[in-house]
Amino acid sequence: MTGNAMHGDVGVLLLHGFGGEPFEMLGLADALASAGFAVSAPLLPGHGQDVTAWSRTGFGDWYGAAREAYLDMQSRFGRVFVMGLSMGGTLSLRLAQEFSPAGVLTVAAPVFLYRLYPLEFSDWRLPFVRLLRHVRPLWPVSPPKPRSREIAPWKGYEGVTALAPLESLLRGMREVRGRLADISAPLLALHARGDRTVPDSNAWEIVRRVSSDDRNLVLFNVAETVTSRHVLTTHRETRDGVARLAVDFVSRLVGNGTACP
């Protein structure tokens, strides 16, 4: 997916999450395109196909595709912003460690899914994924309930998690976390308090450890108790706020809008 822009020297790369599709970035893409910025939201390898294809891919494949998309935008635009939801945010941080984007915006991005000190995890099985993948490569999970899907629409793999890609993601996150200080680009981290998929302490970790002089954190309060409070780009309580903050972030940095809080 791509979009044209009135601001011909500015491009925004949007990266979807683990097991998801560019669908979860469409609202954000529309808001940015309406503000006059060129957007690209590629489908990452192994996604949008079947679980077998997903199982054959890993962090290197996803980052390779994100890197290629970034370099393509860099060849066409003077300034490129990177934004990502969940794993897409992790990939955005990795791009900022290798390149110098005009800005980085993460939405519910993980640099860890569990840690032993202080003890924190969203699923007790996460520390054992490396072993479990050999016992049960495809781990059954409960699909979202219709009410949850109504509140926070999403498209992607359901009913199962491929553990080989998950293990690769965990390793990739550790590498990104270890190099957060390499990031000096302007950064805006968005997260929801009580995110049940990616602990909101990730946002604090990111903002605390990057070297960016321009860095901000926004935590959303989500009232409902049905969803995981994770897919903020489509969630009915947060999607408009995420889109507004993203447009303000880019506009401020290119000098034609107001600053985000």
Q: What is the mean pLDDT of residues 101-120?
A: 90
Structural domains in the chain (count): 1
Identify the band that residue 6 occupies on the pLDDT scale cut at 50, 70 and 90: low
Identify the band that residue 139 occupies on the pLDDT scale cut at 50, 70 and 90: confident
Active site residue 200: no
Q: Is 18 annotated as a binding residue?
A: yes
The answer to whether 190 touches 108, Cβ cutoff 8 Å, is yes
Residue 259 is assigned to a structural domain of this protein = no
Residue 187 is assigned to a structural domain of this protein = yes
Residue 161 is assigned to a structural domain of this protein = yes
Structural domain that includes position 37 = 2-254
Q: What is the mean pLDDT of residues 173-191?
A: 98
Q: What pLDDT is stored for residue 135 in this prediction?
A: 82
Q: Residue 239 sits in a domain of what CATH number?
A: 3.40.50.1820
Task: Summarize pLDDT for 229-239 with one digit per residue, the tens.
Answer: 999 999 999 99
Active site residue 86: yes
Q: How far apart are CA 219 and CA 193, in angstroms?
A: 6
Q: What is the mean pLDDT of residues 51-70?
A: 97
pTM summary value = 0.93
Residue 159 is assigned to a structural domain of this protein = yes
Higher local confidence (pLDDT), 138 or 118: 138
Active site residue 195: yes
Q: What is the mean pLDDT of residues 172-200?
A: 97
Alpha helices by DSSP H, the chain: 26-34, 51-55, 59-76, 87-98, 129-135, 146-151, 163-178, 201-209, 239-254
Q: Which residues of 229-246 are buried (b: 16+ CB within 10 A; e: fewer)?
A: bbbbbbbebbbeebbebb
Residue 40 is assigned to a structural domain of this protein = yes
Return mean pLDDT, the chain: 92
Q: How far apart are CA 157 and CA 165, in angstroms?
A: 13
Residue 131 is assigned to a structural domain of this protein = yes
Given 40, 47, 86, 228, the catalytic residue = 86
Closest by Cα among 27, 12, 3 to 241: 27
Q: How far apart are CA 246 and CA 112, in angstroms?
A: 24
Q: Is 1 annotated as a binding residue?
A: no
Given 195, 228, 235, 251, the catalytic residue = 195
**Residue 250, pLDDT above cutoff 90:** yes
3-state secondary structure at position 224: coil
Residue 83 is assigned to a structural domain of this protein = yes
**Which residues on neighbouring strands pair with residue 161, listed in sequence order?**
139
**Which residues on neighbouring strands pair with residue 157, listed in sequence order?**
none
Report the Cα–Cα distance between both ends of the chain, in Å, rounded.
29
Residue 150 is assigned to a structural domain of this protein = yes
Q: What pLDDT is stored for residue 3 in this prediction?
A: 52
Residue type at position 119: L
Indicate the range of 133-147, 164-178, 179-193 predicted with least confidence: 133-147
Task: Summarize pLDDT for 15-31 with one digit per residue, the tens.
Answer: 999 999 999 999 999 99
Q: How far apart are CA 261 and CA 259, in angstroms?
A: 6
Q: How far apart are CA 203 and CA 228, in angstroms?
A: 16
